Structure 1
Amino acid sequence: MTIFTVNKTINKTIYQAFGLHFDSEILLPELLQRQDTQEADVNIEIQDLSEWRSVVNTRENNFTMQSIGFMFEIPNTALFCIQDGKRIGIHPFPDADMDKIRLYVLGTCMGVLLLQRGILPLHGSAVVINNKAYAFVGESGAGKSTLASTFVQSGFQLLSDDVIAVSYENGEPVVHPAYPQQKLWKESLDLFGMSEDQFKPLHDEVSKFAIPVTKHFHNKTVPLAGVFELVKMDSEYVAMREMNRLERLHAMMLHTYRGALIPRLGLKQWHFSSAAALAGELFALQILRPTTGFTAPELMNQIMRKIYQEEMQGDTIYSTEHFN
């Protein structure tokens, strides 16, 4: 079978994301490049996986754990293999859309890779407020990226969009920066008065666009201070409520990126323990928002007031610049 090939004599490109260094045989313009020669944590390679294709195709949903690594196939695109959190192998199919291949490398592959490395990937967006990370999680379409974009347009910095990489440093949860890009649906662009002609679609099959945020990207790891779960409801008003520990545990498990793959990875116990540890110490609120209307500015104001209250209780000096 013919596959996409790469000239092995060319230099690989070194990138950084999620607190890791990547040595890649494919161009990943979304990621920040590194100029040093530090040894990579992860290699992204074109790999001949043809002998495994029949095995993958016999598994439900084309996702399977094999001796070589965790594998999955996207029809007419590529066969992917993630190995021990250290390597992503890509077997492109003929005439594959490289934009779509990159989408899965930066999405599902990264999610599996982080899980394999013991880094909890939450599904959502994270912004920096007062030198701390706050994450917005929720089901697809809940408005996570739109809310994060509202913060960015108000002068705050983005840490991550779609995949939030959470680990521990010195016993405290931290969020590692992803890359300076947001993914917004056309409907969100319209709400912000942004023209889709200015941005590149993620790939030809979806009306979701890549929005560069280079000037508003925070490229350093910061402590995770809180999580806000967005839930759509049939109401005219925005409501906010604190979650108890059991609800926080449920939210952390429910909103783990590619959580459905965890049993196949053999990580159910690790996932429960990691989610429970995070739920036990995290400040977390559930935000109930109407199913219709552009509520992101109101949500931002309510979130900022709540964070301000929490900071004041902790005797932390906090700027009130964005409350006016």
Structure 2
Amino acid sequence: MKVKKYSLFGLTIATDFNFVSKLSRGYFKPDIYFKVVQKPPIDFSLTNEVFYDSFSTNRSLKGKFCFYKLKKWDLLRFNGYSDYYINDKQIICHIHQEEYNLIEIQFLGIVLSYWLERKGIPTIHASGVNVDNNAVAFLSSNKGGKTSIAASLMQKGFHLITDDILPLDLVDENILCRPGYPTMRMWPDEAEYFLGHSDDLPVVHPEISKKRVFVGLNDFGRFDNYKSELKCIYIPKRISKKNEIEIKPVTPVKAVLELVKHSFSPYLVETMGWQPRRLEKFATIIKKVPVKQLIYPSGYRYLPKLCEAILNDIKQSQK
């Protein structure tokens, strides 16, 4: 099978895996080689001590995923489904259940997030949009609507940076957002609102109804595949019994806690001993980038007004 190169999260990935999600083409020397195999690259004994076991469970009531430190590999095991052998240059996926294929969502989520964290690049669960050549991020909070906010701004002509994972680079005096890939994940009612259809869209996960929405030419909106400077982080919160929009700054302590809270696999990061360096980076980020609470009424009809409030807030912050 032909090996292709893709660009995502500021990396060039070489692989022969066929993704359903639309990915940007890569042109540079690969940072990572990714492949899926039928046999593991090494003999792995279950007697190895589990380094980390996630709190969530699957249907077998075993940990959803666990982590092992091997001699030449880090191993992320999704119990009953797949193993990911990870080092600085390779990610090898050994599948257990080919008929229950979750490789794409695993690789584009926890696996790549872990690889970036391993390299000292913090990743947060957020959408990002390029507004006037600067990035604004919307943390993923419970029913916060980060994707709907990003899609609403895209309808106004602004470009998507990422829909799910946002890696942050600290370069000199700037905080830079690494771009994800030109695909969004929407619930069927979101897709109906923004695209006018949803039944024909591929599902993200076989057990949930979320759909993949492709971004770019002849699709929905536009995508920016380059690093952009982060200018503001919003923590969105939808309230059904509220008619007004409120944007207010949060304290530095709360801002750091929110970044930790909305990290990918924060317990794994803590287990690996990376939390101190991560907290130091988060402290630097909030000194340079304002973090604000965004409280707004629930309902698609409020989204245009919400976008207007966000854009006005950004303009005020730049004065």
TM-score by length of 2: 0.86
Distance of 1:76 and 1:132 partners within structure 2:
42
Distance of 2:75 and 2:293 partners within structure 1:
35
Bigger drift between 46-55 and 61-70 goes to 46-55
Deviations 1:227-250 (A, max 9, x none): 111124464133211112222212
Would the aligned equivalents of 1:252 and 1:279 in 2 still touch at CA under 8 Å? Answer: no
Query: Cα RMSD between the aligned structures?
Result: 2.2
In structure 2, what is the equivalent of residue 46 of structure 1?
36
Distance of 1:163 and 1:150 partners within structure 2:
19
Superposed, 1:13-52 pairs within 5 Å as 13-29=4-20, 30-34=22-26, 36=27, 38-47=28-37, 48-49=39-40, 51-52=43-44
**CA-CA distance at 1:55 after TM superposition:** 5.2
Would the aligned equivalents of 1:56 and 1:63 in 2 still touch at CA under 8 Å? Answer: no
Superposed, 1:151-190 pairs within 5 Å as 151-190=153-192
1:280 is paired with a residue whose SS is helix
Aligned length, in residue pairs: 298
In structure 1, what is the equivalent of residue 94 of structure 2?
91
Deviations 1:69-99 (A, max 9, x none): 4333334431123324x3222011243344x
**CA-CA distance at 1:102 after TM superposition:** 0.7
1:150 is paired with a residue whose SS is helix
**CA-CA distance at 1:157 after TM superposition:** 0.3
Q: Which amino acid is the alignment partner of residue 262 of structure 1?
A: V
Identity over aligned pairs, percent: 20
Flag structure 2 segments of 5+ consecutive residues without an equivalent: 54-62
In structure 2, what is the equivalent of residue 222 of structure 1?
228
In structure 2, what is the equivalent of residue 285 of structure 1?
292
Distance of 2:17 and 2:103 partners within structure 1:
10
Residue 199 of structure 1: which of 195, 201, 207 is its match? 201
Q: Which amino acid is the alignment partner of residue 72 of structure 1?
A: L
Residue 69 of structure 2: which of 42, 66, 71 is its match? 66
Distance of 1:140 and 1:71 partners within structure 2:
30
Would the aligned equivalents of 1:13 and 1:24 in 2 still touch at CA under 8 Å? Answer: yes
Query: Residues 267 and 147 of structure 1: is their aligned pair in 2 closer, same or farther, counting only changes over 3 Å?
Result: same
Q: Which amino acid is the alignment partner of residue 40 of structure 1?
A: P
**CA-CA distance at 1:270 after TM superposition:** 1.4
1:249 is paired with a residue whose SS is helix
Bigger drift between 116-125 and 256-265 goes to 256-265
Distance of 2:127 and 2:252 partners within structure 1:
22
Would the aligned equivalents of 2:24 and 2:225 in 1 still touch at CA under 8 Å? Answer: no
Identify the structure with the greater helix proportion: 1
1:200 is paired with a residue whose SS is coil
Flag structure 1 segments of 5+ consecutive residues without an equivalent: 1-9, 314-324
**Structure 2 residue 117 is the aligned partner of structure 1 residue 115:** yes
Deviations 1:106-142 (A, max 9, x none): 0111110110111111101000001000000032431
**CA-CA distance at 1:54 after TM superposition:** 2.9
Distance of 2:69 and 2:109 partners within structure 1:
20
Would the aligned equivalents of 1:22 and 1:44 in 2 still touch at CA under 8 Å? Answer: yes
Query: Residues 56 and 136 of structure 1: is their aligned pair in 2 closer, same or farther, counting only changes over 3 Å?
Result: farther
Deviations 1:158-191 (A, max 9, x none): 0111001110223311011111111111232233
Would the aligned equivalents of 1:78 and 1:96 in 2 still touch at CA under 8 Å? Answer: no
